[in-house]
Structure 1
Amino acid sequence: MNKDVLADALAIRAMASAFDAQRGKLPVPGDPHRLPSNVAVAQQISELGKLISELGDEVLFRTVNKSPGSATFRAVSSFSAAVRPVGEAASALGEVAEQLVFLEQTEHLHDRPDAQDARKAAGRVIDEMLGTAYTALREAGDSLHAASTAVSPPSSRFRAALGRTTTPSRPTALAVPAPATTPTVPAARIVRSR
């Protein structure tokens, strides 16, 4: 396997894992007694900003250093496509931070009916934006995981291992289809791979 292709696949997988980790750090929406802290949300916005910058660096590096006929176009496309959902997640968390500031500023007004309605609305916005951030980070991670497999498909050994089972045969979601074409080798010639 081409070492550049392997490097691209590993870089894409690492970035996908970073977005999965960010998704795991998101506060759980729907609990009015456990609002996320302003500090935690600000840290996550900062971390997403760094990841967006890393995506840009990956695109720039591969765009500047690509060799003619290289397979890096798929990696460039994958990193570029992840910017949008990660930007959406950061934007949603920015809205969460704004609503948290509003709740802090109106804490002393919690007995007034008009303030209660506005504070409840802020809680709903927080829940919605946390859901938006979660979905966007899942989209970014899933697309990068798929791209890493497309850039560097599983080896024939891995596909064979997936095909072996000790249970009765039935289709599974993990089965990887065999390549559409298999290379043909003349009968008189022996080919060895490294």
Structure 2
Amino acid sequence: MTTNPLADALAIRATASSFDAQRGKLPVPGDPHRLPGSVAVAKQISELGKLITELGDEVLFRTVNREHGSRTSPAVFSFSAAVRPAGEAASALGEVAQQLAFLERTEHLHDRPDTRDAREAAGRVIDGALGTADTALRQAADSLHAASTAVSPPSSRLRAALGRTATPVDEAAPATPAAPASATALAPRTVRGR
């Protein structure tokens, strides 16, 4: 298992994108006539379970494979921090699935006043749970995106900029001897992309 910063950043970014994708699959709350499908919600719970397992695997593999006496990597911290909001999202979707099952089970009783009230309450619970899932998935994705940026190794341009010394403009820089023409022709050229 590699533990270099670039590989860690890419793994964290890929996981963040998975959470963004899960968030994009959430049903939109608030429309009582367009409840989410119970099969779609069950699939999303299953997919979130797989994501939670992947988070656990990332933490486990990085923890087991670290060198003796070395500190825990920022990637371990990032992956483990995402477990809580991922679990909250899965739990909220579990609540949605439970309320959808209740609505399906009581469909034939929708004309009874007491059942009507309970069914309306179930709709409100579904909306609240979808909002909770959305917030939790956004939190997981945002924290992972921020972590991937923090873990990423600095670009070659940034390293070059940090390596230069800053000298005030009004200070005269010592003159450097001119290089012979043959030396400048052989010197490697730096190509900068935009």
TM-score (norm 2): 0.78
Deviations 1:75-124 (A, max 9, x none): 00000000000000000000000000000011111111111110000000
- Write the letter of the residue equivalent to 1:33: H
Q: Which residue of 2 aligns with 1:134?
A: 134
CA positional deviation for 1:73: 1.3
- Write the letter of the residue equivalent to 2:131: G
Structure 1 window deviating more from structure 2 (147-156 vs 65-74): it is: 65-74
Within 5 Å, which residues of 2 pair with 1:137-176?
Answer: 137-152=137-152, 155=155, 157=157
% same residue: 77
Partner of 2:73: helix, strand, or coil? helix
Question: Unaligned 5+ residue runs, structure 1?
Answer: 160-177
CA positional deviation for 1:70: 6.2
Contact kept, 8 Å, 1:8 with 1:72, in 2: the verdict is no
Q: Which residue of 1 aligns with 2:42?
A: 42
Deviations 1:40-65 (A, max 9, x none): 00000000000000000000111011
Q: Which residue of 2 aligns with 1:97?
A: 97
Larger radius of gyration: 2
- Write the letter of the residue equivalent to 1:83: V
CA positional deviation for 1:72: 5.8
TM-score (norm 1): 0.78
Q: Which residue of 1 aligns with 2:181?
A: none
Structure 1 window deviating more from structure 2 (39-48 vs 67-76): it is: 67-76
In structure 1, distance between residues paired with 2:44 and 2:117: 28
Contact kept, 8 Å, 1:16 with 1:145, in 2: the verdict is yes
In structure 1, distance between residues paired with 2:136 and 2:21: 13
CA RMSD of aligned residues (A): 2.9
Within 5 Å, which residues of 2 pair with 1:1-194?
Answer: 4-67=4-67, 73-152=73-152, 155=155, 157=157, 182-183=162-163
Q: Which residue of 2 aligns with 1:175?
A: none
- Write the letter of the residue equivalent to 1:91: S
Structure 1 window deviating more from structure 2 (33-42 vs 71-80): it is: 71-80
In structure 1, distance between residues paired with 2:66 and 2:157: 30
CA positional deviation for 1:28: 0.3
Given the superposition, is the C-alpha separation of residues 3 and 64 from structure 1 closer, same or farther in structure 2, using an over 3 Å criterion?
closer
Instruction: State how many pairs are aligned.
Output: 168
